[in-house]
Structure 1
Amino acid sequence: MELPVGIRERYISGVNGLTVHVLEAGFETPKRPVILLLHGFPELAYSWRKVMLPLAAAGYHVIAPDLRGYGRTTGWDNRYDGNFATFRTHELSRDALGLVMAMGHDSVYTIVGHDVGAIVAAYCALVRPDFFRSVVLLSCPFGGVPPLPFGIGEQTAPNQQQKQPVQDPLASLPRPRKDSTTYFSSPGANSEMMNCKQGLHDFLRAYFHVKSADWSQNKPFPLSSGLAEELAKQPAYYVLDLDKTMPEVVAPNMPSPKEISACKWLPDKELDVYTQELNRTGFQGALNWYRCNTNGLNRSDLELFSGHTIDVPSCFISGIADWARFRPPGALENMQQGACTQMRSFHIIEGAGHWVQQERPEYLTKVIVDFLQNVK
């Protein structure tokens, strides 16, 4: 893995059963405040390569791990039939806490999460505000803690709850559909993506392309409700036809050779890093987190904190072409209206889609550094 000078690789063992692969910058100076960077799907610690050195130059020890289920971090179960509960948000948060402690720190100045990493970062800030002193969420808003489902115990025995995935309401539409989370939770998703007709490299190229600002059809807007008819207004990479795989959905939007050549934020040489790592690990470890969503495990963990809010200084950043900020409907508004009680910074970045730390790294770094200057 070719990295900019000043970023080094390390392996930290004994972290919640894992040996964690870490990239870090700003390690030369001891006792610096820590910035912990958590990537999303289907990314790696490598996705932060463009922001790590500028953040280190601002005076921080910057740590970016491969999450459980990804990259060169080992010790996780990559089977579909394994114990997928070990991939729920609670466990990924334990990984984050344990990693930082294992590296000799007693707090994190700010935890920055993108996509899946934003869900984990929000959970960390919610449950351990003493350790995670501030939070930056990229793309995915924190819509608040769900209420406790009073009365459910009278209808269903505790040992029978959440055994089966919740039925996707999109499947009942006249044109049957499914959410991407439903697809990623399915038994065949890993094989379908690994063995797709166009090959893994071209699948990833198309997937990164359609969720970026390079794809001109990304013009997101807030949805009025969570009804299936409204959810179906999202792009096909978020709401797939029921009989389609993700590679089949993105294939028609494969960028042209000219567009690929013009893609400076993710040239083929850098995309090859993702391709090589996924060829080795597959997707299943990463996909198991989605199963914890569709089976209700992530929600049930959150319910323990029903009534709580994120009370540390918070920042939200998204690309203007990123649909994720409107998923699920209402989450963005809930976050702004009180789920994060100290929302001090809110930015929508022009010229960026979902991959904001790769598409607009310079602007993103400036926003984060400016936010951190007001964190006490």
Structure 2
Amino acid sequence: MTTDSYADGTLPKGVRSRLIHGVNGLDVHILEGGYESANRPLALLLHGFPDLAYGWRHLIPMLADAGYHVVAPDQRGYGRTTGWINSYDTPLEPFSILNMARDAIALVSALGCRRTAMLVGHDTGSPIAAYCAIARPDVFPSVALMSAPFPGVPQFPFNTAETGSPTTVPNTDNPQLADELAALDPPREFYQQYLSTRRANEDMWHPPQGLHAFLRAFFHVKSGDWDGNQPHPLKAKTASELARMPTYYVMDRGKTMPQNVAPFQPSLDQVNACTWLTDPELGVYVEEYARTGFQGALQAYRIYCDPRLTAELRLYSGRTLDVPTLFIGGESDWGTYSAPGALEAMKAGAATRIHGVELIEGAGHWIQQERPERLAFLLRSFGRELGRLDGLRS
């Protein structure tokens, strides 16, 4: 599968597709720009759910024009990257945040680089990027996090030798919160809980309205194009506060994700006006997910919901995110606030070298597609501020 396998008009000029073999057990599909010149500093872009490397297509040429070698991989579980097991019943450890951070380190090495000049993570790619920088600041000396703020590393209890306080386990409040959401009128369900279930893949892979219509509604309702997105900070991680979010985040319990977004299907006029995701471009997503399904992408949510699998993050208990950090959200993106207190925790010390918190006007969740010009400006400015355009290959 090469650049030629993309339909006409779906891949910008100067962006190519290729496979890189033997990357932490994977054959990784990447889109890249700025590859024509040797010794360019590396910009690595990590997508989220349910995105692909393709989600960065508008941004790649802009960063390449600024002097970067820009690489966007299909992450483990997604798209044209292979070497992962596509099954609900496979062991989940390969999809852990730390192993996907290892994927990123291995990719940087395979590309012949010692470190990145720019690391960007969006949505579920944001925590992966954060832990890349925590674990290996020598390889990832700065990071830009998009849509998902970094709330900090889960901690071991401190100074308990004399008090005998019991050891806590991350995420143990999730079952209680699920029960409280279910008890609301009408009953609700947090999207991560739903996405971690066995049924979620089939629900989204073969929805009654068809995959094309489902993905169109999903991208639309989470974007700045849907005027119902009016995000704001939530006071606490309680059922009543979380229920203020739209039903693509806190779902109507008993309904599938396709059923929850179906009422927000955009009109033909709205589709035609959507220049950031044309129907041929949406067709790339439809083709890829029709082929693979969503299970590989959904494994991350099973990790997040299982305290046994997030406990390994406490390897870094006591650590903070200490590289220069930029946070970028969309003004119309609930992702900034979907984990109450996360943005405040990041600003209060979970990240110690914050260079800015930017909310892009007119953007919803899909920042790199909806407002790539503004995003490119912010990332280029961040890079110039840090002096990263200085040739970082071996």
TM-score (norm 1): 0.95
1:371 aligns with 2:348: no
Question: What is the SS of the residue equivalent to 1:137?
Answer: strand
| Alignment counterpart, residue 321 of structure 1, candidates 305, 328, 332 | 332
2:50 maps to 42
- Partner in structure 1 of residue 94 of structure 2: 86
Deviation at 1:337, TM superposition (A): 1.8
Indicate yes or no: 2:129 matched with 1:121: yes
Q: Which amino acid aligns with 1:260?
A: V
Query: What is the distance in 2 between the residues matched to 1:310 and 1:258?
Result: 44
What residue is the counterpart of 1:275 in the other structure?
Answer: 286
d(CA) in 1 for partners of 2:171, 2:152: 21
Aligned 8 A contact 2:129 2:143 in 1: yes
Q: How far 1:297 sits from its partner (Å)? A: 4.6
Following the alignment from structure 1 to structure 2, what is the Cα–Cα distance between the partners of residues 55 and 275? 27
* Distance change (3 Å), C-alpha of 1:149 and 1:235: farther
Aligned to 2:63: 55
For 2:24, give the aligned amino acid: N
Q: Does 1:224 align with 2:235?
A: yes
Question: Which residue among 341, 357, 361 is the counterpart of 1:330?
Answer: 341
Instruction: Please give the alpha-carbon distance, in whole angstroms, between the structure 1 residues aligned to 2:184 and 2:265.
Output: 28
TM-superposed CA distance for 1:294, in Å, is: 0.4
- Provide the residue aligned with 2:392 in structure 1: none
Contact 2:93 2:309 in 1 (8 A): no
Verify: 1:100 aligned to 2:100, yes or no: no
Question: Which aligned segments of 4 or more residues in structure 1 are displaced greater than 6 angstroms?
Answer: 153-156
Distance 1:311 1:110 in 2: 15
- Indicate whether 1:11 and 2:22 are aligned: no
Deviations 1:313-360 (A, max 9, x none): 111111100000012100001111211111112211111000000000
**What residue number does 1:109 align with?**
117
Contact 1:138 1:318 in 2 (8 A): yes
Q: Per-residue deviation at 1:235? A: 0.7
Partner SS for 1:304:
helix
Superposed displacement of residue 305, structure 1? 0.9
* Equivalent position to 1:173, from 184, 199, 202: 184
Query: Which of 73, 80, 93 lines up with 2:81 in the alignment?
Result: 73
Question: What SS is found at the alignment partner of 1:69?
Answer: coil
Q: Is the 8 A contact 1:205 1:271 kept in 2?
A: yes
Instruction: Provide the identity percentage.
Output: 52
Q: Could you say what secondary structure the match of 1:311 adopts?
A: coil
Rounded Cα–Cα distance in structure 2 between residues aligned with 1:175 and 1:295: 26
Matched to 2:295, the amino acid is: Q
- Does the 8 Å contact 1:137/1:317 carry over to 2? yes
| Structure 2: runs of 5+ lacking an equivalent | 1-5, 388-394
1:186 aligns with 2:197: yes
Q: Is residue 305 of structure 1 aligned with residue 316 of structure 2?
A: yes
2:220 equivalent to 1:209: yes
1:75 Cα offset (Å): 0.6
For residue 391 of structure 2, what is the aligned residue in structure 1? none
Matched, 1:247 2:246: no
Deviations 1:67-115 (A, max 9, x none): 0000000011110011122111111111011011011111011210110
**CA distance in 2 between partners of 1:71 and 1:17 (Å):** 16
Tell me, in whole angstroms, the C-alpha distance in 2 between the residues paired with 1:162 and 1:114.
Answer: 22
Shift of the 320–72 alpha-carbon distance from structure 1 to 2, 3 Å rule, reads same
Distance 2:88 2:259 in 1: 22
Correspondence for 2:72 among 59, 64, 67: 64
- The residue that corresponds to 1:24 in the other structure is 32
3-state secondary structure, aligned to 2:62 = helix
Checking the alignment, whether the CA contact within 8 Å between 1:89 and 1:298 is kept in structure 2 is no
Distance of aligned partners of 1:166 and 1:13 in 2 relative to their CA distance in 1, 3 Å threshold: farther
SS of the residue corresponding to residue 20 of structure 1 reads strand
Residues 285/241 of structure 1: CA separation in 2 closer, same or farther (3 Å cut): same
* 1:146 has 2:157 as partner: no
Q: State how far apart, in whole Å, the 2-side matches of 1:260 and 1:94 are.
A: 39
Which one-letter code corresponds to 1:73 in the other structure? T
Q: Once the 2 structures are TM-superposed, how far is the Cα of residue 363 of structure 1 from its aligned partner?
A: 0.7
For 1:332, what is the secondary structure of its paired residue? Answer: helix
Match of 2:373 among 322, 346, 362: 362
- The AA in structure 2 aligned to 1:323 is W
**Segment drifting more, 169-178 vs 50-59:** 169-178
**Bigger Cα displacement from structure 2, 198-207 vs 173-182:** 173-182
TM-score by length of 2: 0.91
Question: For this pair of structures, how many residues does the alignment match?
Answer: 373
Amino acid at match of 1:53: P
> In structure 2, what is the Cα distance between the partners aligned to 1:149 and 1:231?
27
Asked whether the equivalents of residues 88 and 297 of structure 1 are also in contact (C-alpha less than 8 Å), the reply is no
What secondary structure sits across from 1:123 in the alignment? Answer: helix
1:342 aligned residue? 353
- The residue matched to 2:316 in structure 1 has which SS? coil
Which residue identity does 2:135 align to in structure 1? V
